[in-house]
Amino acid sequence: MSARFLHILAAAALLPMSGLRAQEAQPREPAPFMIAPPAQQPTVPGPAERKPAEPAPATPAIPASFAFKPLLPAARVTLEGESDTRSWAFYLTQDEAGADLNLDIAFQNALVVMPEASRLTVRINGERIMESPIASSDSLRRNSTAIRKGLLRAGQNTIRFEAVQRHRTDCTVASTYELWTRIDGAGTRLSFKNPAQQSRLRSIDDLPAVGADESGQTTIHIVAPGAASAVAANSILAVAQGVALRGRYSQTTVRISERLPDRIRPGMLTVLLGTGKELRDLIGTLPTEAGTGSFIGFAAHPKFGPAALLVTGESWQDLEAIIAKLLTGPVSRPTNINRKTMGTASWHVPDAPFISDSQVLRFSELGIPTQESSGRRMRVRAVVAMPGDFYANAYGEATLYLDGAFSEILPGDSHIEIFVNGNVAATLPLNTTSGGLFQQTPITIPLRHFRPGINEIWFEAVTLAKSDLACGPGATLPGKNRFALFDTTALAIPNFAKIGVSPNLAAVAGTGFPYSITSQIALLVGRLDIPNLSAAATLLARLAQRADRPLPVDVIGSAAAIGSRPALIVGAAGQMPAGLLPRVGIADTVRSTWPQRADAVVLVPETEGTAVFDAVINRFQGRQTTPEDSGGVAPSTEAIRDRWRGSFGGPVARYFISFDQWLQRTFDLSFAQLRTPSRAPTLYQPAEGAELIAAQASDPDTRHVWTAFVVRQEEALEKNIDRLVTPGNWAGMAGKLTAFRSAQDNHVISADSTAFVMTRPFSLANMRLVFANWMSSNIGIYALTLLAACIGLGIGTFLMLRRLGRHS
């Protein structure tokens, strides 16, 4: 008995040791931040047998893979009207393309959309994946479907949303503007059926597969232990530009820090940048391939997840060399070679053709197929790109050669309209009641509606029929086709003047001009710290994408070091050195008054409702008063009568106003065009509510362009630059100064005078176009020149006839 008892005791003593060995045999990794539900954990020994808890890792845990991949280029995509389509590209790694995936869609539609006759169709790489009735006006509708194996491919894939919508009751054209379906970015994504499956980025060519988050934004988090040192600034900015260009992201934000991020989410790329010693101190042992010499590539490590780009070398000089060779070098485009397209695939497929000379583009090349419409309003969209030295704001015409057909319609109300960048550029009435056929019918489009960079062109056909007047039951349902548009329709762009104009923020926003053609740029930041460096990197990433090449930037410490080269200035108002802001057209007192100024009303949701109402009314009425002023004594009857009497002016003033309106309607002219521009410089004082100012001017000493991006509050520097580079705000920059308020509200101040920047070799043909456009912009000078020429011709003719008569 005693021997058997001792044997049992020995076996019991070995149990906890075997449990400890089993635990030690498994590799211990930090518990990941899970997006998907955590996998079932194995049973652990009891409290008495559990190994003492180890201290938490210094680095926050981050996942090795993600459970989903967002697909939208923005927080939401809206499909409007009776028919609308949107298509763009997304990118996958080899592992993701071969995984088991579901397509998740979330959308909501307007209440007036008829679900019985409205459909939403989704296609991936041309194959229909999902079709659903549009019947979710009260809440988001979520659909999910499996994607067949072999449909997706490594690299670029395209997704296309097609909406056919009909109104429940109304047959008017106005009712078609009430039809919309919004695709939600948070619920539209690719879902991995097996989230635990590893999907790593393996080469720099996989950078586009990082994608974006649910709002369409890609965050490049550069972890540089030596970020605070001046020697690291140029390398950090070069990496930000190179990654943004190689990744082809729609909207990029750069964050710089000296430690690893707290967590990694979809749409975020971690870049580890530093010397070998700095990175070893940060993450421990480096991968074998990065152990010696310089290295750029993706490396697996449990501390920084699947999307970490390692950039290292023995010194910062080695880092600059390998960045230039392997990261920015392959996307460095010579300044004297024009590109063929401008990248828009992240939000619109196909890419915009880049028009640098006369060109004819068929609709088939612009991604518009032959199509028929049975609705009251058909609309299609195309995008084209113009160079930074595009100079045709007052002269020249493009021509749309229309191939199409229309059936029986009501004349007068039916027409074709062409919109360019939101402006009505051309209108063609449809006056034949029995229908007709268009065969290369020319429609003239003035070039003044175009601008440098991306231009959106909308073709819209409004076709009303007799049945729309009665609007009986079922009249809004699809019926006989009313309009056909053929893909042989062509847009012909003529030769236009090509010369740079300064100041012109629209060219900076459009193509990064003039920095896109510069060999060296001076970058002056308000303070050489991480927030300022992050804001500058975000701005440069956007400029590099627009310029389609990395910009050669040299970070300097003072304005005196700018020298004879273009300059970029980024920072908060209080950080700017004295005397710098007036050189870009901003009052120097802004440095001290703007950050501390308490604006009367800030239009945010927390603001009192009555104050918001007063501010909006005052703004639309053009008053200078504030809600605080409205609490005084009410104006008398005589004061109100005098104000109204003064606003009308006398009979002579009313005559000139009516004559000016007639000139605008008849000849597209006005008295404002006859005014001589004021040469007196005026320094800008920020308007109420302004949070960021973009200003440009030519340095009077060197004639080089200086562009400043000045933020009101130092604490909001990164946030306001992030808001600036969003597509809506970025496209709104124009003139010599643009002030941004909250949301996408901006105020543009046009340049009083401009200077020309030669961008191409001298050509008489080009200079003739430049001269014609300049004369059209300065019609007063043109009129005086024409008058002087006529007088000279008359005097010369008189003298010649007098001389001939004397000899006879």
The three-state (H, E, C) secondary structure of 505-526, written as one string: HHHHHHHCCCHHHCCCEEEEEC
Helix (H) or strand (E) holding 297: strand 295-298
Contacts of range 124-132, beta carbons closer than 8 Å, 24 or more positions apart: 124/151, 124/152, 124/157, 124/158, 124/159, 124/160, 125/151, 125/152, 125/153, 125/157, 125/158, 126/158, 126/160, 127/151, 129/103, 130/103, 130/105, 132/105
Contact 187, 142 (CB under 8 A): yes
- pLDDT of the residue at 406: 93
The set of residues, in sequence order, having a beta carbon less than 8 Å from that of 748 and lying 6+ positions away, is: 732, 733, 734, 735, 737, 738
Task: Give me the phi and psi of 239, to 5 degrees please.
Answer: -65, -45
Domains of the chain: 68-192 (2.60.120.260), 226-331 (no CATH), 341-498 (2.60.120.260), 502-599+679-756 (3.30.379.10), 601-632 (no CATH)
- pLDDT of the residue at 289: 76
d(CA 294, CA 224): 16
Q: Which of 503, 535, 457, 454 is nearest to 728 (CA)?
A: 454
CA 800 to each of CA 130, 156, 796: distance values in angstroms, whole numbers, following the listed order: 82, 73, 6
How far is CA 557 from its chain centroid?
A: 30
d(CA 523, CA 521): 6
d(CA 514, CA 694): 15
- Averaged pLDDT in 10-residue chunks for the chain of 808 residues: 45 40 37 32 40 41 69 96 96 92 96 94 97 94 95 96 94 94 96 76 92 95 90 95 96 94 87 92 81 82 71 91 93 86 95 95 96 94 96 93 92 92 94 89 96 96 89 83 96 95 95 94 94 97 96 93 94 94 94 81 43 44 41 66 64 66 63 55 86 93 93 93 93 94 78 87 92 83 81 89 68
CA 454 to each of CA 351, 421, 449, 508, 532: distance values in angstroms, whole numbers, following the listed order: 10, 9, 12, 12, 29
d(CA 717, CA 223): 19
Residue with token string 């896109």: 516
**CA atoms in the 13 A half-sphere facing the CB of 63:** 21
Q: Which residues pair with 145 in a beta bridge?
A: 103
- pLDDT of the residue at 302: 60
Contact 431, 412 (CB under 8 A): yes
Contact 338, 94 (CB under 8 A): no
Exposed / middle / buried, residue 658 (Cβ in 10 Å: 0-12, 13-18, 19+): exposed
The set of residues, in sequence order, having a beta carbon less than 8 Å from that of 383 and lying 6+ positions away, is: 344, 348, 352, 366, 454, 455, 456, 457
Query: The pTM is what?
Result: 0.82
- pLDDT of the residue at 711: 95
Q: Collapse the DSSP code of 789 into the 3-class scheme (helix H, G, I; strand E, B; otherwise coil) and give the result.
A: helix
